[in-house]
């Protein structure tokens, strides 16, 4: 017999989930993609970290209004349904279930495996271990989260504290021991188009910043979501942006952008330069803890989406996916997301998977930002424990920033974008079929 999810998550679990979901693989590994796109120039990369942070904070301030007003399990899917209707709400949940969460988990698992292989020696034999490690860490994390949601929240809190250690050490000793290489000059390398490249590097930084909205997926399991959810999102994002700027300047303080563009893990390179081989390996181990925290965060929140879809029987296998164990964990939904993640991980492509998922999810983020304005007009009397400051300027900034990233990705990477669109649109005939069958 299925049980209802219990309200047993507090503010500490919420803010650690925000920070844990956001600070993970991106800040340690995405500088390589960023400085490759800029052709080894640092300036536009740092600008992108700043712009990406501002867009994310504007988005967080905007979407938090909806999160607090509609504190139900399901997160963005529920917001879209409330604003645009059940069909579009289902499409949001479908995209998150079959693309965003498993694709992101796969990307994080792949980069975890690559870092672990390099830590073991980075020989050709060790690189063959990437796929088994990636699949293994997905399955292990899924198992841990089936123990129960409160246990998953506990893991998240510990992993978040653990991940701050390499960040703090690199920031402090990077500035102390670095030689102050150029931070903003040149802006881009030769033959680089600044506008289209900005779109590319923003996709990379937004992946590093992503995860903030997904804490809304556990709103229905929070003790006091109206009070704790806005503080967790806004406070967590402000902390993340400050840390990201500091550590990326510290990277450049130690190694030029042209060198960071040539290695899989810029953070490990910088750590080795600062602390030597042994110290670098210890920092790399800390980075693995950070990446594990991100992986756990996504597997904590992601399965709550297909679980929410089972309420109306709109997703195939609803009876199976709706089952909850004694630990208040939707265990079958967790295994669904984990299996899909393993399939995506077979590509072994970190940047391709992350670009695919960020494009897809930002389409719906923009719809959520627009929805705040729509909801203000349609339901002015709706109880809003939190209202976005600077309305409507902040929502407009979020909308324009997100629209630029989505449109630029459509133009510059049409195949990746088309793949995301096709996977998402498949949800429409499934919705039609399941709706007719249920009625």
Per residue in 254-293, pLDDT (tens digit) is 999 999 998 888 888 999 999 998 888 888 888 888 888 8
In a domain, 6, yes or no: no
Task: Specify the pTM.
Answer: 0.86
| pLDDT value at residue 3 | 52
CA-CA distances (angstroms) from residue 40 to 207, 219, 247, 314, 352? 20, 42, 18, 48, 20
In a domain, 408, yes or no: yes
In a domain, 401, yes or no: yes
Check whether 219 has a pLDDT greater than 80: no
Q: CA angle 106-107-112, nearest 5°?
A: 95
Report whether 302 contacts 96 (CB < 8 A): yes
Range of the domain at 322: 11-438
Who contacts 144 (Cβ-Cβ below 8 Å, separation ≥6)?
151, 152, 155, 296
In a domain, 3, yes or no: no
Check whether 172 has a pLDDT greater than 90: yes
Torsion of CA 207, 298, 366, 27, to 10 degrees: -20
Q: Which tokens is 23 given?
A: 């600070």
94-130 confidence digits (pLDDT tens): 999 999 999 999 999 999 999 898 888 765 555 678 9
In a domain, 146, yes or no: yes
CB-side neighbour CA atoms (13 Å) of 318: 14
| pLDDT value at residue 1 | 41
| pLDDT value at residue 214 | 65
* CATH code where residue 270 lies: 1.20.1740.10
CA distance 11 to 233: 10
Who contacts 118 (Cβ-Cβ below 8 Å, separation ≥6)?
126, 264, 265, 268, 284
Who contacts 327 (Cβ-Cβ below 8 Å, separation ≥6)?
146, 147, 148, 149, 150, 151
10-52 confidence digits (pLDDT tens): 788 778 777 766 777 788 999 999 999 999 999 999 999 999 9
In a domain, 2, yes or no: no
Residue 249 burial (CB count, 10 A): 18
Percent pLDDT > 90 in the chain is 46
In a domain, 1, yes or no: no
Q: Which tokens is 353 given?
A: 């998977």
| pLDDT value at residue 2 | 46
| pLDDT value at residue 233 | 78
In a domain, 4, yes or no: no
Reduced 3-state DSSP string for the chain: CCCCCCCCECHHHHHHHHHHHHCCHHHHHHHHHHHHHCCCCCHHHHHHHHHHHHHHHHHHHHHHHHHHHCCCCCCHHHHHHHHHCHHHHHHHHHHHHHHHHHHHHHHHHHHHHHHHHHHCCCCHHHHCCHHHHHHHHHHHHHHHHHCCHHHHHHHHHHHHHHHHHHHHHHHHHHHHHCCCCCCCCCCCCCCCCHHHHHHHHHHHHHHHHCCHHHHHHHHHHECCHHHHHHHHHHHHHHHHHHHHHHHHHHHHHHCCHHHHCCCCCHHHHHHHHHHHHHHHHHHHHHHHHHHHHHHHHHHHHCCHHHHHHHHHCCCCCHHHHCCCCCCCCCHHHHHHHHHHHHHHHCCCCHHHHHHHHHHHHHHHHHHHHHHHHHHHHHCCCCCCCCCCCCCCHHHHHHHHHHHHHHHHHHHHCHHHHHHHHHHHHCHHHHHHHHHHHHC
How many domains does the chain divide into? Answer: 1
Lowest-confidence segment of 15-29, 233-247, 370-384 by average pLDDT: 15-29
| pLDDT value at residue 74 | 66
* Region 417-435 average pLDDT: 94
| pLDDT value at residue 304 | 84
Residue 424 burial (CB count, 10 A): 21
| pLDDT value at residue 123 | 55
């Amino acid at each position: 017999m299925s049980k209802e999810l219990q309200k047993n998550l507090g503010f500490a679990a919420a803010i650690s989930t925000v920070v844990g979901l956001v600070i993970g693989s991106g800040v340690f590994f995405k500088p390589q993609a960023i400085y490759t796109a800029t052709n080894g120039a640092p300036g536009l990369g740092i600008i992108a970290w700043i712009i990406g942070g501002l867009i994310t904070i504007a988005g967080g301030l905007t979407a938090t209004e909806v999160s607090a007003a509609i504190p139900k399990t399901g997160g963005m899917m529920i917001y879209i349904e409330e604003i645009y209707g059940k069909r579009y709400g289902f499409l949001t949940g479908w995209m998150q279930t079959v693309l965003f969460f498993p694709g992101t988990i796969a990307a994080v698992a792949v980069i975890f495996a690559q870092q672990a292989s390099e830590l073991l020696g980075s020989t050709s034999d060790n690189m063959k271990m990437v796929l088994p490690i990636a699949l293994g860490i997905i399955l292990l994390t899924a198992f841990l989260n089936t123990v129960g949601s409160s246990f998953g929240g506990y893991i998240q809190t510990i992993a978040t504290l653990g991940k701050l250690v390499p960040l703090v050490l690199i920031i402090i000793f990077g500035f102390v021991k670095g030689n102050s290489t150029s931070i903003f000059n040149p802006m881009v390398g030769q033959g680089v188009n600044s506008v289209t490249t900005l779109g590319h590097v923003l996709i990379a930084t937004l992946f590093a910043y992503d995860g903030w909205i997904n804490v809304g997926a556990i709103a229905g399991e929070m003790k006091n979501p109206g009070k704790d959810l806005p503080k967790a999102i806004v406070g967590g994002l402000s902390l993340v942006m400050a840390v990201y700027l500091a550590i990326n300047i510290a990277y450049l303080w130690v190694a030029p952008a042209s060198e960071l563009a040539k290695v899989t893990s810029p953070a490990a390179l910088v750590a080795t330069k600062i602390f030597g081989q042994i110290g670098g390996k210890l920092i790399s181990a800390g980075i693995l803890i950070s990446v594990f925290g991100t992986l756990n965060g996504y597997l904590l929140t992601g399965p709550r989406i297909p679980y929410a879809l089972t309420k109306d029987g709109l997703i195939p296998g609803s009876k199976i996916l709706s089952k909850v164990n004694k630990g208040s964990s939707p265990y079958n939904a967790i295994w669904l997301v984990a299996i899909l993640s393993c399939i995506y991980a077979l590509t072994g492509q970190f940047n391709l998977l992350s670009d695919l998922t960020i494009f897809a999810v930002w389409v719906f983020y923009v719809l959520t930002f627009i929805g705040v304005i729509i909801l203000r007009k349609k339901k002015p009397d709706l109880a809003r424990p939190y209202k976005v400051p600077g309305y409507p300027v902040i929502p407009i900034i979020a909308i324009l920033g997100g629209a630029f990233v989505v449109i630029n990705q459509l133009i510059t990477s049409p195949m990746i974008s088309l793949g995301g669109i096709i996977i998402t649109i498949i949800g429409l005939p499934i919705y039609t079929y399941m709706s007719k069958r249920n009625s």
